[in-house]
Amino acid sequence: MLQVTELEMRMSKRIVRYDEFRKTVPILVKKYFESPRIWLDTGCGTGGSIRDSIDIFRDTQFVLADPSSENIEIAKHTMAGEQRCLYVTNPTERLNFGPDTLDVVTSIFSHHYYSDDEGRVTATRNCHRMLKKGGLFIVSEHTLHPEDQDGSDAQWKAYMRDSGLPEPFVEDMITRRYNEYFPLTEAAYIQLLNDIGFSEVGVFWSTCSDIGLYAIK
């Protein structure tokens, strides 16, 4: 089984402490569910988040969803025929699992690509709808630090340079903001989750460029 895909290697170079983040997700799930029955990873990319957890949660059915059919095909390959995985080629807002169906939903660096608030709200509301009462939603995104955005960006760029990324790419990650990805502040993310109806919301991971939040239905 492949452990790291090309997409995941690229993410580790541009997302600060990405490897640490991936290790944190199954630990957080374990805190709330000893053995979740159904776990959906929406915007799954090439399947890295589930690959980290599949041997930890031996009785869990995993659903890997992504709008990219190419990503789904790579994810299938890296799972090497794992029978507990179901694959769906759809974005979050079009997933149609029944209400109160899922124990865990993860969205790892995928919802910040919604270019308007309505799209992000619709996608997040659909995750809430599909979760059981007491279910766990984990979301990570690029974020803003308006109290010192220039300082945060300087730290982020230094990390990318230290990871070996060329200067044009480093600068492009900044200029893509509000053009290709659309981050919020920590307070805005928390407010969004509260407004949708989650009963408990918290931050479990944060860096100069990214944030990880959990929410309980």
Question: What's this model's pTM, rounded to 2 decimal places?
Answer: 0.94
Instruction: Between 5 and 53, name the one with better pLDDT.
Output: 53
Which CATH number do you get for residue 86? 3.40.50.150
In a domain, 1, yes or no: no
Query: pLDDT band at 58, cuts 50/70/90?
Result: very high
In a domain, 67, yes or no: yes
Query: pLDDT band at 37, cuts 50/70/90?
Result: very high
- If one counts every other C-beta atom within 10 angstroms of the C-beta of residue 178, the result is 9
In a domain, 188, yes or no: yes
Query: pLDDT band at 36, cuts 50/70/90?
Result: very high
Task: Classify burial at 68, counting beta carbons within 10 Å of its beta carbon; exposed 0-12, middle 13-18, buried 19 or more.
Answer: middle
Separation of alpha carbons 25 and 211, rounded Å? 13
pLDDT in tens, 63-98: 999 999 999 999 999 888 889 999 999 999 999 999
Residue 4: per-residue pLDDT: 63
Separation of alpha carbons 124 and 144, rounded Å? 19
Which structural domain range is residue 45 located in?
A: 6-216
pLDDT in tens, 138-194: 999 999 999 999 999 999 999 999 999 999 999 999 999 999 999 999 999 999 999
Separation of alpha carbons 161 and 139, rounded Å? 26
Separation of alpha carbons 215 and 52, rounded Å? 21
In a domain, 201, yes or no: yes
